[in-house]
Amino acid sequence: MSSTRAAVNFIIFCVSDLEASFKYFTETLGFEADLTQNSPVFRSFASREGTTPFGLFLASEAAIPGSPQPGSVRIYFETDKLEEMRDELVAKGAEPAAIEVQPFGSIFHIPAPDGHLVTMLRPPAQ
């Protein structure tokens, strides 16, 4: 996929108790919260320049149907050629989901071996 290479953009830890996990990451591990990105099911952390940001997601079937399992990790890969990448994957026989527009950008998911779900992302235009 030389024309549509992607790079790691964001990492999400799926947790069963959002507030307990947030407290652990801030108070025990010392990470700085990024309060501008918070929601009822998400907490974000500030990252140093040149590093990959990360957050916590409440993995709760009751809160969000189809939610990932607690203990799983989601990695978002960024590309500026989202549609082309999806088309290339389909041409290779893969089965990516449809592209969705989210507040943080456009994404699609693709299943990978061992049950991993890879997410491709094109952030919104700045």
Q: What is the pLDDT of residues 5-42, one digit of tens each?
A: 788 889 999 999 999 999 999 999 999 999 888 899 99
74-99 pLDDT, tens digit per residue, is 889 999 999 999 999 999 999 999 99
Sheet holding 42-45, edge to edge: 42-45, 54-58, 7-15, 73-78, 117-122, 105-111, 100-102
Q: What angle do CA 69, 73, 75 make, to 5 degrees?
A: 135
The Cα 102–Cα 109 span in angstroms is: 13
**Residue 55 in this model has a pLDDT that exceeds 80:** yes
Across 42-51, 64-73, 87-96, least confident range: 64-73
User: What's the structural domain count of the chain?
Assistant: 1
Q: Taking Cα atoms as reference points, which of 91, 97, 103, 104 lies closest to residue 119?
A: 97
pTM (2 d.p.) = 0.77
**Length reported for the chain:** 126
More confident residue, 103 or 66: 103
Instruction: Note the pLDDT of residue 26.
Output: 94
CATH of the domain at 42: 3.10.180.10
Task: For residue 76, give its domain range.
Answer: 2-122
Neighbours of 83 (CB within 10 A): 13
Q: Taking Cα atoms as reference points, which of 92, 91, 88, 56 lies closest to residue 120?
A: 88
**pLDDT confidence band for 2 (50 / 70 / 90):** very low
